[in-house]
């Protein structure tokens, strides 16, 4: 066997630069771990004249992607260019040519992961994508290897650092959403167009990947019910805290028997739950296994070196597999049928915040509607609203079906005495959990 594993790197942005830094700077450690040397032999870039923060030999640089994926001098292709196209075509062609794949591309794996893994099985190639979810946290390897003898029943995660930074600042400082979003953009945590983060799209892609691996089904992005944080107010967070909760953008994947639900939404998480204390740009994934019970994985969710560390860790796994001659056995395509829960089968507690006329009998009208739809209350707060003739009613329900809660919201909207259903969020933790 060749004593040097030859890497073709596609992309030399933030993560790609970090990958080169680690491979160059940790060569002795990598060789001790694998028994082989690892060298970057080709790097795909768009602009060959661009100034880089690291020194790269000119002969390594190429603008021809197909030359890289077809080269007999490349054993492993590391893809960090991002996006769906042409990354998908590059990866599939590399697999066709017998190259192993390491990628950080969450968009691609969320949308086309099953197809890519199937091709990898056909060609006996490895495909690893640890860096696509939660940066430097080794959650995907834990799902595939650490839980291989267990059955995962639930995963809850804070998997987007931008939204967690915003929610943390709003909680700790009482600031408004727009104010904190602007600060996140100034600090570089949020993009100029923050839609993918704040509307939950980024987290939904990651939850599709987690549930595909955790539940062994072909979970598609369109199967994830996603909702962002742009409508969460400082008042919502304040009332949640009074009731013993924090609000986080949570990804939730749950399996009961063979029925699955996957969502991303602002969620009240009880202050006693470990996820409630995950703050700033950090990520965390909480996993429930039938045998192991409850475990949590916590760490930085983004950045050059945390993400690049996950990429190189996957690369080391590929190299070890090459040495053992077991490539292609770790990439398991989904093999179970997918059965998604209906709204009648999704059960949770809920937080409701209403603006109502401050007069006698209103609460009785509301509780009657709740009772008609089999929804009971765990906690209730009522107080004047902004000093006028209106009041706020804040409620946390007991366990209820999503269908019943949707019907309750529709009925409350019809009540003349209910001026506005201000907020409706899922609740996790506390009693009945």
Catalytic residue positions, numbered:
206
Q: Which residues contact 412 (CB under 8 A, 6 or more apart)?
A: 354, 366, 369, 418, 421
Residue with tokens 């209103």: 362
Residue with tokens 């059960």: 347
φ and ψ at 364, to 5 degrees? -65, -40
Residue with tokens 């409508």: 231
Pairing, β 347-357 against β 293-300 = unpaired
Comparing CA positions, the residue from 250, 298, 308, 300 lying closest to residue 426 is: 250
Q: Per the structure block, which two tokens stand in for 397?
A: 């329900």
Bridge partners (DSSP) listed for residue 424? 352
């Amino acid at each position: 066997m060749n004593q040097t594993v030859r890497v073709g790197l596609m992309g030399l942005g933030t993560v790609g630069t970090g990958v080169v830094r680690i491979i160059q700077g940790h060569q002795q450690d990598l060789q001790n771990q694998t028994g082989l040397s690892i060298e970057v032999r080709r790097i795909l870039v768009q602009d060959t004249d661009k100034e880089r923060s690291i020194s790269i030999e000119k002969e390594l640089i190429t603008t021809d992607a197909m030359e890289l994926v077809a080269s007999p001098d490349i054993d492993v292709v590391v893809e960090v260019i991002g996006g769906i196209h042409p990354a998908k075509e590059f990866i599939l062609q590399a697999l066709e040519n017998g190259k192993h794949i390491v990628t950080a591309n969450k968009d691609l794996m969320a949308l086309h992961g099953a197809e890519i893994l199937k091709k990898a099985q056909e060609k006996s190639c490895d495909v690893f994508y640890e860096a696509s979810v939660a940066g430097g946290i080794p959650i995907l390897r834990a799902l595939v290897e650490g839980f291989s003898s267990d059955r995962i029943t639930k995963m809850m995660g804070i998997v987007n650092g931008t939204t967690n930074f915003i929610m943390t600042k709003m909680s700790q400082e009482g600031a408004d959403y727009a104010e904190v979003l602007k600060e996140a953009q100034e600090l570089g945590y949020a993009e100029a167009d923050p839609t993918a983060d704040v509307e939950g799209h980024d987290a939904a892609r990651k939850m599709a990947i987690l549930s595909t691996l955790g539940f062994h089904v072909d979970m598609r992005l369109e199967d994830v019910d996603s909702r962002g944080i742009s409508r969460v107010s400082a008042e919502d967070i304040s009332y949640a805290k009074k009731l013993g909760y924090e609000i986080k953008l949570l990804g939730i994947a749950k399996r009961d028997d063979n029925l699955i639900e996957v969502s991303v939404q602002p969620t009240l998480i009880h202050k006693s739950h470990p996820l409630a204390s995950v703050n700033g740009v950090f990520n965390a994934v909480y996993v429930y296994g039938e045998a192991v019970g409850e475990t949590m994985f916590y760490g930085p969710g983004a950045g050059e070196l945390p993400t690049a560390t996950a990429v190189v860790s996957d690369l080391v796994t590929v190299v070890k597999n090459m040495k053992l001659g077991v490539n292609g056995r770790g990439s398991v395509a989904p093999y179970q049928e997918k059965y998604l829960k209906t709204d009648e089968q999704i059960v949770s507690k809920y937080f409701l915040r209403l603006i109502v006329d401050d007069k006698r009998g209103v609460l009785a009208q509301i509780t009657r509607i709740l009772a008609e739809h089999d929804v009971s209350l765990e906690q209730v707060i009522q107080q004047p609203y902004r000093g006028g003739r209106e009041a706020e009613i804040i409620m946390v329900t007991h366990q209820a079906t999503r269908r019943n809660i949707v019907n309750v919201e529709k009925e409350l909207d019809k009540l003349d005495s209910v001026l506005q259903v201000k907020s409706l969020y899922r609740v996790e933790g506390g009693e009945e959990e």
